[in-house]
Chain A
Amino acid sequence: MVKKRLIPCLDVRDGRTVKGIQFEGLRDAGDPVALAARYAREGADELVFLDITATNQRRQPLTELVRDVARVLDIPFTVGGGISTVADVEALLLSGADKVSINSAALARPELIADLARRFGSQCVVVAVDARLVEGEWQVMTRAGTVATGREAVAWCREAAELGAGELLLTSMSHDGTKSGFALELTRAVSDAVPVPVIASGGAGQPADFTAVFQEGGADAALAASIFHFNETALPTLKHYLHSAGISVRL
């Protein structure tokens, strides 16, 4: 059977630097390629690179980073952040990215999802959805979570999947950074609503949070940043923990 996936997320800026890494023994903390290789060795199932360079800046360095990563990495990786056109996606895929993640551009022009799926296949189109709990309703946010869209999260996820998204990356902004666990009800609602895999993100603090998001949330994959970056919970330890808890993971 297909295994539940653990996905470390790396923030990159200007195609090089990685934010907030405090790994011991990693000499060049600014080198996302070295960090990616380390995560792969430790058993990461996939990686996500999120370009936090402002969207109006040049994209060129990102394709160079993607080439450098693809040259050494023998597991799949997704690139996201500021991707807004078919040409952006083509450049990243030709450089060796396996999937791209789109967010604000998909909200501004939902037909972009269909265009990308037709052109490159659904398997490489990840739609990232940032949701915030406002007065009991999960609202979709855009522009790095700064602007409300008026859309309800489960409905938007369903629409994105129908348009051709091959996977959804669902982030609860209400949980992100809190280390209080994933948004289980939201994850379950989205997972039940769409036929495509759902990656849960936001709130990972301890190993039990992952058990909960796979079992109660119905997530197919879980993404986290700081829990891995700060070496609070190493990937091999987490995978063995999940295996012992009855979660099917790749050991």
Chain B
Amino acid sequence: MEIAVVDYKGGNVQSVLFALERLGASATLTADPEALHRADKVLFPGEGEASSAMEALREAGLDKVLPTLTQPFLGICLGMQLLGRHSEENDTPLLGLLPFTVQRFVPDPMHKVPHMGWNNLQVLQGPLFAGLSAADHVYFVHSYYAPVGAYTTAQATHPEPFSAAVQHRNFHGVQFHTEKSGAVGTRILANFLNL
């Protein structure tokens, strides 16, 4: 199986590569459209700020390439958010593959922002969450979120429900860090590789 990790200087790809390595899968870090099209699975990690990430995608021509991919695709953290239509973060137009607008959490004394740490997943749907339950925790670190919608495949709360995972066709996204979520994250990553 050929696994491609999208290379657009979008943050901590090393952790994702190591997580794949722990699963016995080897991955190629690439921005080459042909390599991305050829891969059996594509992972799209991301960290940092939305407008810089979109700028980096445009510079690499990836904003045009990613939407044309047809194999199972997994956006992680900012990589999930970039699948949406628009982000409140610096008023940024996104890839537009899913119909959500990314919004900022409003902090209160009980709910700090960034939403940072382990939270449990609720209302789990679809093949990524096979074998998991609402008692399972994953690691989040983000200040912006996608609201719950028809595309939502898992929810978490902070304090209101938001999309912990989304899906449209082959495009999956998880707001949490599968690569840093212990055995639960490893299971989700393995489920994705088995799609």
Which residues in B have their C-beta under 8 angstroms from that of A221? 117
Give me 5 other A-B pairs in contact (C-beta within 8 A), A74-B181, A124-B12 excluded. Answer: A2-B111, A3-B137, A71-B18, A76-B180, A166-B116
Closest chain A CB from B134 CB (angstroms) = 12
Are B48 and A120 neighbours in the complex by a CB distance under 8 Å? yes
Choose, from A22-30, A191-199, A225-233, the stretch at the interface: A191-199
Question: Which chain A residues border B111 with CB–CB below 8 Å?
Answer: 2
Task: With both chains docked as a complex, state the minimum distance between the C-beta of A120 and any C-beta of chain B, in angstroms.
Answer: 6
Mask of B76-118 contacts with A, CB within 8 angstroms, 1/0: 0000000000000000000000000000000101011111111
| Residues of the A chain whose Cβ atoms lie less than 8 Å from the Cβ of B21 | 71
Does A245 make an interface contact (CB < 8 A)? Answer: no
* Contact indicator B119/A3 (Cβ below 8 Å): yes
**Chain B residues near A119 (CB-CB < 8 A):** 48
Main secondary structure of the interface of B (DSSP, over half): mixed
User: Do the beta carbons of B114 and A122 come within 8 Å of each other?
Assistant: yes
Q: Which residue of A lies closest to B107 (CB)?
A: A195
The 0/1 profile, CB within 8 Å of B marked 1, for residues 115-153 of chain A is: 000111111100000000000000000000000000000
Chain B residues lying within 8 Å of A35, measured Cβ to Cβ, are none
Q: Which of B14, B116, B120, B142 contacts A70 (CB 8 A)?
A: B14
Cβ B159 vs Cβ A197 within 8 A: no
Contact of A1 among B15, B109, B119 (CB under 8 A): B119
CB neighbours of A250 from chain B (8 A): 118, 137
Give 27 pairs: A residue, B residue, CB < 8 Å, sorted on A. A1-B120, A2-B140, A3-B119, A3-B137, A5-B118, A40-B182, A70-B15, A70-B18, A71-B22, A72-B22, A74-B186, A75-B180, A76-B141, A93-B11, A93-B12, A96-B12, A96-B14, A118-B49, A120-B47, A120-B48, A121-B49, A122-B114, A166-B141, A167-B116, A197-B112, A198-B112, A250-B137
Picked from A4, A72, A197, the residue with its CB within 8 Å of the CB of B114 is: A197
- The 0/1 profile, CB within 8 Å of B marked 1, for residues 74-100 of chain A is 111000000000000000011110100
The answer, yes or no, to whether A220 is at the interface (CB within 8 Å) is yes
Is the CB of B195 closer than 8 A to any CB of chain A?
Answer: no
A97 to chain B, nearest CB (A): 8
The chain B residue with its CB closest to the CB of A69 is B18
Q: Is residue A15 contacting chain B, with contact meaning CB distance below 8 A?
A: no
Interface residues of A: mostly helix, strand, loop or mixed? mixed
Nearest chain B CB to A128 CB, angstrom units: 16
For this complex, into which size category does the number of interface residues on chain A fall? 35 or more
Say if the beta carbon of B7 comes within 8 Å of chain A.
no
Chain B interface (Cβ < 8 Å from any Cβ of A): 11-12, 14-15, 18-19, 21-22, 47-49, 107, 109, 111-120, 137, 139-143, 157-159, 177, 179-183, 185-186
Q: Which 10 A-B pairs have the closest CB atoms?
A: A121-B48, A195-B107, A96-B14, A250-B118, A123-B141, A197-B112, A250-B137, A2-B117, A2-B119, A3-B118
> Closest B-chain residue to A43, C-beta based?
B182
Contact of A51 with B by CB under 8 A: no
> Do B11 and A121 touch across chains, with their CB atoms under 8 A apart?
yes
Contact A195 B14 (CB under 8 A): no
Q: Which of B14, B22, B47, B115 contacts A2 (CB 8 A)?
A: B115
Known interface pairs A96-B14, A123-B114, A250-B137; A191-B19 also in contact (CB < 8 Å) = no
C-alpha spacing A71/B157, complex, angstroms = 30
CB within 8 Å for A1 and B158 given contacts A71-B18, A196-B114, A250-B137: yes
Q: Are B157 and A192 in touch, CB under 8 angstroms?
A: no
A88 to B158, CA, bound (A): 33
- Complex CA gap A250/B158 in Å reads 16
A181: B residues at CB distance < 8 A: none
Instruction: Tell me whether A217 is interfacial, beta carbon within 8 Å.
Output: no
Counting chain A CB atoms within 10 Å of each CB, which of B18, B109, B113, B159 scores highest? B18
- Residues of chain A with a CB closer than 8 A to B12's CB: 93, 96, 98, 124
Contact of A195 with B113 in the complex, beta carbons under 8 Å: yes
Q: Are A123 and B47 in contact (CB under 8 A)?
A: yes
Complex Cα distance A171/B6, Å? 39
A123 to B115, CA, bound (A): 9
